Amino acid sequence: MHRDVSSRIALTVTEPADLAFAIAVSSHHAPASESLTATLDGAPVEVVELRDAHGTRVHRMRPGVGEFVVEYSAAIAGTGQEATADDIERLVYTRPSRYAESDALAPTASAEFVGIDDPSQLLTAVSSWVGTRLAYVPGSSLPTDGAARTLLARRGVCRDYAHLCVALLRGLNVPARLVSVYAPGLHPMDFHAVAEAWVDGGWHVVDATTLAPRSTLVRIATGRDAADTAFLTISAGRADLVDMTVSATADVLPGDDLDHLVRLR
C-alpha cells in the first residue's frame, strides 16, 4: 500500500514563541520521501527534531513575531514496524490519565462487558458500545473534556471517542493508549485520533468512529491521551491558529471488518 500524507499549519505569532509540532509520521515508518519546512514571513526558521520512546517525532521551533507557516509531506511505500511494549509500558497504560479517567469508569466497563473474555470480541464490543452511544458532532466538546464528561454528553469528536475507548479498556485492566494518525478515507479530512489496545501480544487499533479504514492509518504520535499527542504545543509566547490543511490518501481504500484485529503498520 502506498500512502501520501501532508499538512500545512499557519499561525500568527504575536509574541516570540516556543512551539512544538507533532505532525511528522512516527519513526515506525520509513518514508520514501519526506519534507518539513518552517517559515516566518517567508524566511526559514530553524527546526529541531526530538524523539520519544514511542517513536513520536516532535519538531520544535522558536519563531519571532510574524506570519508563521509549517508545511510537512511524506510518501510512505509499504508498511512500517509494528509497535511493541515492555512490562512497564503495559503497566503505565492501565493507569488513569488526564483525559481517560479509567478509575471513574471502571464500574461501567465491568457492568457492560462482563463475561467477554476473547480479546478480539472485547475490542469489538467496546468499539461498538462507544460508537452507538455517542453522536459525532464537530465542535461539541471542549479541549479539556475527558472520557467521563464525553459519556455524560453523549457526543464528541474523534479524540473523545478514543478517550472513552481507552478509559473503558483500562477499566478492564487492558493496556490502552491514544494515537494521532493521518487517516486516508477520512471525511472531512483532518488529523484523526484512535485508541490502541494491547491484546494477543500486540497493539491493535480501536476506532469507534469507523470513519476511515484502520489498515490505512499512519501513526504520528502515541501517548496516554491527547495531552501527549497534540499536533501543536505552545510552551511560551503567543501564537494564534489562522489556517490548517491536512491531506491523506492511499492507492487503495480496503474494507474494514470490525470483527478482525488490526495493527498500525
Domain ranges of the chain: 2-80+231-249, 87-228
- The one-letter amino acid at 145: D
Residue 170, pLDDT score: 98
Domain 2-80+231-249 adopts which CATH fold?
A: Immunoglobulin-like (2.60.40)
| pTM of structure | 0.95
pLDDT of residue 80: 81
What per-residue confidence (pLDDT) applies to 23? 98
- At 26 the pLDDT is 96
**Mean pLDDT of successive 10-residue stretches along the chain, which has 265 residues:** 97 98 94 96 97 93 98 92 90 97 97 93 97 95 95 97 98 97 96 97 96 97 96 96 97 91 92
Which residue's entry shows cell 515506525? 28
pLDDT at 242: 97
CA–CA dist 226, 193 (Å, integer)? 9
Domain 87-228 in this protein, CATH class: alpha beta
Closest CA to 100 of 238, 229, 12: 229
The beta strands (E) that lie in the chain are given as 2-21, 33-40, 43-44, 48-51, 57-61, 66-77, 135-136, 155-156, 176-182, 192-199, 202-206, 218-223, 232-250
